[in-house]
Structure 1
Amino acid sequence: MDMSDALAALAALSHPTRLDAFRLLVRHSPNGLPTGALVDASGLTQSTFSTHLAVLAKADLVTAEKRGRQQVQHARLDTLRQLMTFLAKDCCEGRAELCEPLIADLTCC
């Protein structure tokens, strides 16, 4: 992941609706959720939510799969992993001792 991709992902996740939707999709991985379930969870109209979904898709954080008559949305866990790795490597500058507390937090629960 390069700086441009990282900025796009961070910008997409910087809105509460988009962050909530992405977190919900991550929790429902690998099966994903129908778009309607995401709209219902957001409390927004379909058209308003689709704008948020488009921002997440443009940042490569979500992808859609057609199942019959439904669109099922999936979190792109590979993009999340790349973003987290980019941030950890960039911030820690190769110094593992700086990232050890972060890794411990991820594995504790």
Structure 2
Amino acid sequence: MTTTLKNQTLMIGKTGSSVVSFQEEDAQCPVCKSDKYLTPNLKLLVSPCFHKMCESCIDRLFSHGPAPCPICQQILRKNQFMSQIFEDLAVEKEVRIRKRVAKV
């Protein structure tokens, strides 16, 4: 039996053992397709719309000011990208929302 979750695949065999394999898209820039495993010094940053992009693509795309996100077309600025603190983007999103609410 194979169950596909948002960022991982869980495979359960006949013996009851389970194997979790993370998909490569979590460690890959969607713009240039650079892979974090093949390029260890690749730094992926997270946008306000929670899409990951490498630093070089961010520098190139946002060098002349605001531009649309290549994935969802939301208008972004270069200074809005942040380093990812948590491995799970859902946790990252929740923490950012709670920080904004706490400021109010």
TM-score (norm 2): 0.25
Greater RCO, CA 8 A, separation 6+: 1
Instruction: Pick the structure with more helix per residue.
Output: 1
**Structure number, greater radius of gyration:** 2
Instruction: Pick the structure with more strand per residue.
Output: 2
TM-score (norm 1): 0.24
